[in-house]
Amino acid sequence: MGDVTTRKSSGSTTATPAKRQRATSGSASERRDHLVKLAAEIFARKGFQATTVREIATEAGILSGSLYHHFDSKETIVDEVLSTFLDDLIARYRAALDSGSDPRTVLSEMVRIGFGTLEPHRAAITVMQNDWNYLRQFERFNYLVKAEDEVEQMWVTQIKAGQAAGQFRSDVDPKLTYRMIRDTIWVAVRWFRPGGRLNPAGLAEHYITVLFDGLATGERTSQRA
């Protein structure tokens, strides 16, 4: 019955060549994903520049030459680590923007999305912080700057929309506000530890409370005339 046919002999089942090929392909893909995750952890721990292909291979329990069967360089590996993170982040931001909700609701969701990346993309965020200036020198990483600009535009546009709708204060600078929010979220990767008192969702809700409700009580004194 095509490639799904199996042949039984002495009570055993033998997979067809097509099945074996799919299994091999699946194993190779899983192995590649494992190597990417392992390398990402090393990059985050040691820094991209300080990490060698030999170190990645050694930690993976393979020879350096075997690593080159999957990747032609460590730049290719970090490229996959960062692009996977940014593609996921931007797709989620776009979905929040396309929801049609009011600016405050959308901005709250964007905060949740940001904090929600701390666990699944912890290594990538750390690499972005530690090696950003080095990587952006190379043409193959031009997309990092483009992604940064796109994300900033998303946030700034939403903050301005909130100001126009009367939901946000008009006396704050949208770009500066975004950058303060951005740094609060990404720097959290340095001290946030999974399994602690607050998970990413709880951390996000706490930050949203401080962001929109403030810290001080009583009459506001920071409003400019």
| pLDDT tens per residue, range 78-87 | 999 999 999 9
State which residues of the chain have pLDDT below 70: 1-26, 219-225
Q: What is the pTM of this model?
A: 0.83
Give the tens place of pLDDT for each residue, 9-33.
444 445 555 544 444 446 778 888 9
104 contact partners, CB below 8 Å, separation of at least 6 = 162, 167, 168, 212
Report how far residue 108's alpha carbon sits from residue 94's, in angstroms, rounded to the nearest whole number.
14
Q: Which amino acid is at 58?
A: T
DSSP 144: H
Report how far residue 206's alpha carbon sits from residue 39's, in angstroms, rounded to the nearest whole number.
33
Give the tens place of pLDDT for each residue, 206-224.
999 999 999 888 766 555 4
Report how far residue 133's alpha carbon sits from residue 144's, in angstroms, rounded to the nearest whole number.
10
Residue 160, CA atoms < 13 Å, CB-side half-sphere: 9
Residue 164, CA atoms < 13 Å, CB-side half-sphere: 8
Query: Mapping DSSP to helix (H, G, I), strand (E, B) and coil, where does residue 3 land?
Result: helix
- The beta-carbon contacts of 163-171 under 8 Å, at least 24 apart in sequence, are 165/102, 165/103, 167/102, 167/103, 167/104, 168/103, 168/104, 169/223, 171/223, 171/224
